[in-house]
Amino acid sequence: MLSGMSKGSPGPTPGFLVWRLANKWRVAVDRAVAPLGLTHAQYSLVASLYGMQRAGERPSQRRLADHTGLEALYVSKLARTLESAGLIERARDPRDPRAVQLALTEQGLDVTRHAIDVVHDLLRQLLEPLGGLDAPRTRAFSDELTTLLDAPLAPPVPNDERTKGTSP
């Protein structure tokens, strides 16, 4: 299924298109934020942290992992790299000594604000074919993506009644 085609379907599957769009976006964001010394993954972490900090929150690494959809170990690795770069501070949570709280430094705030502007311009370009950021098609597209993101997705369970008699 390398081409993303499924049996009996004339074109790419929705899964293949989602994968292609996700890759296209990741590569574009990587290129856009590289001059600021960030990768796409680092950007998603600092931008999320920025939004949470503005809301008065000082999130733990675990909370940030849940928010971004990234693995907790990966968030920990990204946080250490960003801390070395002087963009974030990591501190023990006084209420839970096992938890690590994250906060943007002044430099981190500056870089993140700039990166958010750059990525916002990129988003405007991406959504232009749908009519732009505030277009009804864009809102509908966002609603559909949210529906898919909220749907549970787990591999099939072996010997599950629903999958009996179907070939793998």
The per-residue pLDDT for range 51-97, each reduced to its tens digit, is: 999 999 889 999 999 999 899 999 999 999 999 999 999 998 888 88
111 closest CA partner among 77, 76, 86: 86
Q: What is the spatial distance between Cα 13 and Cα 135, in angstroms, rounded to a whole number?
A: 26
> Is the pTM value of this prediction over 0.85?
no
Residue 2 reports pLDDT greater than 60: no
- For the stretch 130-158, pLDDT in tens is 999 999 999 999 999 999 988 888 888 77
Encoding tokens for residue 1?
């299924």
Mean pLDDT confidence for 37-47: 96
Residue 7 reports pLDDT greater than 90: no
Q: What is the spatial distance between Cα 90 and Cα 33, in angstroms, rounded to a whole number?
A: 22
Q: So what's the pLDDT on residue 96?
A: 83
Calculate the average pLDDT of the chain.
89
Give yes or no for a contact between 60 and 99, defined as CB atoms under 8 angstroms apart: yes
Residue position matching structure tokens 């099939």: 156
Give yes or no for a contact between 104 and 112, defined as CB atoms under 8 angstroms apart: yes
What 67-70 contacts at long range (C-beta under 8 Å, 24+ apart), as own/partner pairs, is 68/44, 70/41, 70/44, 70/45
Percent above pLDDT 70 for the chain = 89
